[in-house]
Amino acid sequence: MRISKFVAPEIIFGNNTIQQAADACMRLGAKKVFIVSDLGVAQAGWLERVMDCCRLAGLPFATFMDIATNPRDTDVVNGCTSFIENECDAVIGVGGGSALDAAKAIAVLAANGGTIRDYEGVDKIEKPLPPMVMIATTAGSGSEVSQFSVITDSQRKKKMTIISKTLVPDIAIIDPYTLITKDSALTASTGLDVLTHAIESYVSIAATPLTDVQAKSALSLVSAHLRPSVASRTNAEAKEAMAMASLQAGLAFSNAILGAAHAISHAIGGMSPVPHGEINAILLPHVMDFNFIAAPGRFGQIAECMGIDTRVLTQREAGNAAIRFVQELSIDIGTPQRLSDLGITDSVIHSICLTALEDACMITNPRDMTLEQAKNLLARAL
């Protein structure tokens, strides 16, 4: 049994827990909070809910919403400038992965200075960050509990992965009720991101018994509840299950890290503003097939978590069944099936692969990947 570490924030889970945002900040000693969100969250009314609870608590705040779909280094610089100018001492992130990753990166720059590129990689952050409360409004990124922040380098046109236990928020608030304002396409895309987190963390070379428990539970929940969650905004049972799945997959990948699907997805996302979950959904079956020989028993267990009866199947048959399950789920909920559907062409495959092989997530992929293997995988996914 090997457990090197397991990091997690204080977690508040349940309907209407978004109303605890101000109290959470005040418990951390905040005097003025910097609320990072985006236009979509504001239009859905969740930003106003957070602002209202701050007003009721007498907690001063400033807001920042100038964030791209894939947050950029320039967004982080602008946010840091606003944080300092408004004399804030704590950060609230409200939204999906874009807002939460940006909020964490802003906190890094505010406390440590320099450029966000200085912190790319593992454990580059030296000074403590201001108190952070992260409020998830999508069942997808897991950023509210993770030690990750992914930011696009606008000059190099690549996503930078920043990994540090310093990035683990102090308090994570997960309110399943916020999911009712997400349309079916966003629900599908973010839900498949959860599935990818669960599978990649389960077969990661850094997986431990603690991460396995979280990953397997997330797998079961997504397999049973993503379809009904996409089908209906008002299915409360499905929304709560997907919120829990996202939380558990986030805890799993925060500690076990990820693999080739995310490494390649980061490389593609740095070049094109394509939804992260859609890229993962396309890549995942191909990466699962590639990784099978590194962990055949684990892929059989993944199939079992999906509800597949594996008792009369060989390990290869069970692995193939898990791959087919992912493909059928993706088709059922209407996500793109080919990278070409997202505008990716074979002319950029080489550069995507070069960038992906340098990504931190590739380190924990269970099977070594060469440049030629990466190019062949991407060619199949086109």
Task: State the residue for tokens 């503003």.
Answer: 273
Lowest pLDDT segment from 78-82, 229-233, 344-348: 344-348
Percentage of the chain exceeding pLDDT 90? 92
> For residue 2, is pLDDT > 80?
no
User: CATH topology for 183-381?
Assistant: Dehydroquinate synthase-like, alpha domain (1.20.1090)
When pLDDT is cut at 50, 70 and 90, the band that residue 203 belongs to is very high
Mean pLDDT of the chain: 95
Long-range contacts from 156-160, C-beta under 8 angstroms, 24+ separation: 156/270, 157/270, 157/271, 158/266, 158/267, 158/270, 158/271, 158/355, 159/70, 159/266, 159/267, 159/269, 159/270, 159/359, 160/73, 160/116, 160/117, 160/120
Domain range 10-178, its CATH number among 3.90.650.10, 3.40.50.1970, 3.40.1180.10, 1.10.760.10:
3.40.50.1970
Domains 10-178 and 183-381 share a fold: no
Average pLDDT over residues 92-96: 95
What local confidence, expressed as pLDDT, does residue 70 receive? 86
* pLDDT score of 4 more than 90: no
pLDDT at residue 1 tops 60: no
pLDDT of residue 362: 96
Confidence of residue 242 (pLDDT cuts 50, 70, 90): very high
Domain boundaries, the chain: 10-178, 183-381
Residue 222 pLDDT > 80: yes
The helices-and-strands tally (H runs, E runs) of the chain is 14, 9
